Chain A
Amino acid sequence: MTSPKIKLTNVCKRFGPKVVLDGINLEVAAGESLVIIGGSGSGKSVTLKCILGLLTPDEGTIEIDGEPVIGMKRAERERVNRNIGMLFQGGALFDSLKIWENVAFGLIQGQGKNRVEAKAIAMEKLAAVGLGPEVAELAPAELSGGMQKRVGLARAIATEPEIIFFDEPTTGLDPIMGDVINDLIVKCVRELGATAMSITHDMASARKISDRIAMLYKGKIIWEGQTAEIDNADEAHVDQFIHGRAEGPIQMELRRL
């Protein structure tokens, strides 16, 4: 049996007294698309940041391609990251660079490609996400939110990574643009044959882009299974979450006036 592409074992993370991740165990197979769902503050973003090396877990191990990545030296981590693409929630495009330079950034800085070659690839990737050459010379601030998300996606796939992470890919977009982004994610991930891991609280998006779904609640994975099985999951938290009900075991922490 091949080892999983991403493996988290008993990952814990605390911020002061607050336990955010409480012993997470998760595996993502090569070529699989896993979506982690969960409410705000459930630990989704922290999980992603721990895998990306932006935060260091207090306990547990994280393996990428069978290689433990926690405590890796900076140069080693950069080598691992060269196989990773990331679409940030807000796009995280570099304001000081033009659109094509944003898309080509990983090619120029990470892979050492020259600017002419990198620009040609960037234009291809922009076309792949439905953006024409007219946007290439613009600044990120000149684009709408949906277009910025597409540029972020183009940047994430520009280096043709083996693993792509998506952080709330449809948040802040109208339903139609959200669906366009979902379609693009599915298309890009399939074309690259990449392993994908996403976090979202948008169930429409989760159903569309995932092979498998895991639900995070209070720092623990409380359910995981095939996407088709989620409607029949015999779990009250999952049932409440996917139907978006206020009543149920998940209680929002509201301060009464």
Chain B
Amino acid sequence: MNPFRPIGKAILGFFESTGRLIVFTLTALSHCVRPPFYLRLHGQQMIDIGYYSLPVVGMTTLFAGMALGLQTYAGFSRFSAEDAIAKVVALGITRELGPVLSGLMVAGRIGAAMAAELGTMRVTEQIDALDTLSTNPHKYLIAPRIIAGLTMLPLLVFVGDIIGIFGGYVVSVYKLGFNPGIYLSETWKVLEFKDVFSGLVKAAAFGFIVTLMGCFHGYNSRGGAQGVGAATTNAVVSASILILVFNYVITELFLKI
């Protein structure tokens, strides 16, 4: 057997998948901006992604802020720089931890659910049924989810930022004995518009990635329950990896601005 055959097959498979993803993305985006808009479905998805993810994102950022406060204290106290806790927590949460952790949590909650739902719809012929009922599945199923991801994740991250900073405040004030007024004023002083904005841009990108991966893998799932399971796994794994890659890319871009 030709030893290059599996390598060639893998390369062709990669390009085929990439091509399909690009076509899927462009088709989905074009339906996001072209009427008709299914406002009811847009609303449902926004509530599902925005409102119902709030407890998960809130808990994640709260404990991330608390842990960051403690770790910063443990590290910075070695060279008597404990006063920097408020600054580190504020910048760490708004620029990095808030968007990344929220994105990963939403990938687990929403990306998996979308892939499973659309995958089940695919294998039970519900997506074919949409087609026969003169309804474009991209417009009816995909566009509302992507728009909801793009718009809701920044809102979630904004709330998560506040909760995360509050977590650092709680640890610093009630455990480490910092002055609450000084802590808050330090936080306020260090934060710039760019810090929060870069985090929200990341959040929008992550919202797009999570919903796109969930929809893409679910929509293209094949082969019954096993196929739906594989689609769900692929959606979460690919969204998580892409979040980390794009987090770095966006961080680089904002450092250059």
- Is A256's beta carbon under 8 Å from chain B? no
Contact of B129 with A92 in the complex, beta carbons under 8 Å = yes
Closest to A107 in B: B133
User: For A142, what are the chain B residues with a Cβ–Cβ distance below 8 Å?
Assistant: none
Once the chains are docked, how many angstroms separate the CA of A105 from the CA of B126?
Answer: 12
Q: Given A53-B131, A54-B131, A74–B136 Cβ distance below 8 Å?
A: yes
Contact of A94 with B126 in the complex, beta carbons under 8 Å = yes
Contact of B132 with A81 in the complex, beta carbons under 8 Å = yes
Contact of B136 with A110 in the complex, beta carbons under 8 Å = no
- Is B80's beta carbon under 8 Å from chain A? no
Once the chains are docked, how many angstroms separate the CA of A90 from the CA of B132?
Answer: 15
Contact of A82 with B134 in the complex, beta carbons under 8 Å = yes
User: For B125, what are the chain A residues with a Cβ–Cβ distance below 8 Å?
Assistant: 88-90, 92
CB distance from A159 to the nearest CB of B (A): 8
Once the chains are docked, how many angstroms separate the CA of A94 from the CA of B120?
Answer: 11
Point out the residue from A49, A53, A105 that lies within 8 Å of B133, measured CB to CB. A105
A-B contact count (CB 8 A): 53
User: For B124, what are the chain A residues with a Cβ–Cβ distance below 8 Å?
Assistant: 90, 92
Closest to A55 in B: B128
Q: Given A92-B124, A95-B126, A86–B132 Cβ distance below 8 Å?
A: yes
Once the chains are docked, how many angstroms separate the CA of A53 from the CA of B126?
Answer: 15
User: For A92, what are the chain B residues with a Cβ–Cβ distance below 8 Å?
Assistant: 124-126, 128-129
User: For B120, what are the chain A residues with a Cβ–Cβ distance below 8 Å?
Assistant: 95
Q: Chain A CB within 10 Å — which of B126, B132, B133 has the most?
A: B133
CB distance from B220 to the nearest CB of A (A): 14
- Is B251's beta carbon under 8 Å from chain A? no
CB distance from B162 to the nearest CB of A (A): 33
- Is B135's beta carbon under 8 Å from chain A? yes
CB distance from A90 to the nearest CB of B (A): 6
- Is A106's beta carbon under 8 Å from chain B? yes
Contact of B128 with A109 in the complex, beta carbons under 8 Å = no
- Is A78's beta carbon under 8 Å from chain B? yes
Once the chains are docked, how many angstroms separate the CA of A95 from the CA of B125?
Answer: 12
Contact of A109 with B133 in the complex, beta carbons under 8 Å = yes
Contact of A106 with B134 in the complex, beta carbons under 8 Å = yes
User: For B121, what are the chain A residues with a Cβ–Cβ distance below 8 Å?
Assistant: 94-95
Contact of A109 with B129 in the complex, beta carbons under 8 Å = no
CB distance from B64 to the nearest CB of A (A): 34
Once the chains are docked, how many angstroms separate the CA of A202 from the CA of B124?
Answer: 21
- Is A84's beta carbon under 8 Å from chain B? yes
User: For B140, what are the chain A residues with a Cβ–Cβ distance below 8 Å?
Assistant: 109
Once the chains are docked, how many angstroms separate the CA of A106 from the CA of B121?
Answer: 17
Chain B residues 102-157 with CB under 8 Å of chain A are 120-121, 124-126, 128-129, 131-136, 140
Closest to A86 in B: B132
User: For A74, what are the chain B residues with a Cβ–Cβ distance below 8 Å?
Assistant: 136
CB distance from A99 to the nearest CB of B (A): 14
Contact of A54 with B134 in the complex, beta carbons under 8 Å = no
Once the chains are docked, how many angstroms separate the CA of A208 from the CA of B94?
Answer: 69
CB distance from A91 to the nearest CB of B (A): 8
Once the chains are docked, how many angstroms separate the CA of A109 from the CA of B140?
Answer: 10
Contact with B along A92-136 (1 / 0, CB 8 A): 111100000000011001100000000000000000000000000
User: For A106, what are the chain B residues with a Cβ–Cβ distance below 8 Å?
Assistant: 133-134
Once the chains are docked, how many angstroms separate the CA of A49 from the CA of B120?
Answer: 19
Closest to A52 in B: B132
CB distance from A165 to the nearest CB of B (A): 8
Interface residues of B (CB under 8 A from A): 120-121, 124-126, 128-129, 131-136, 140
Question: Lowest 6 CB-CB distances: which A-B pairs, in order?
Answer: A92-B129, A92-B125, A110-B134, A78-B134, A86-B132, A106-B133
**15 residue pairs A–B, Cβ–Cβ below 8 Å:** A52-B128, A52-B131, A81-B132, A85-B132, A86-B129, A86-B132, A88-B128, A88-B129, A92-B128, A94-B121, A94-B129, A95-B120, A95-B121, A105-B135, A155-B133
Inter-chain pairs besides A78-B134, A92-B125, A105-B135, 10 sampled, C-beta below 8 Å? A54-B128, A54-B132, A85-B132, A86-B129, A88-B128, A92-B128, A94-B121, A106-B134, A109-B135, A155-B133
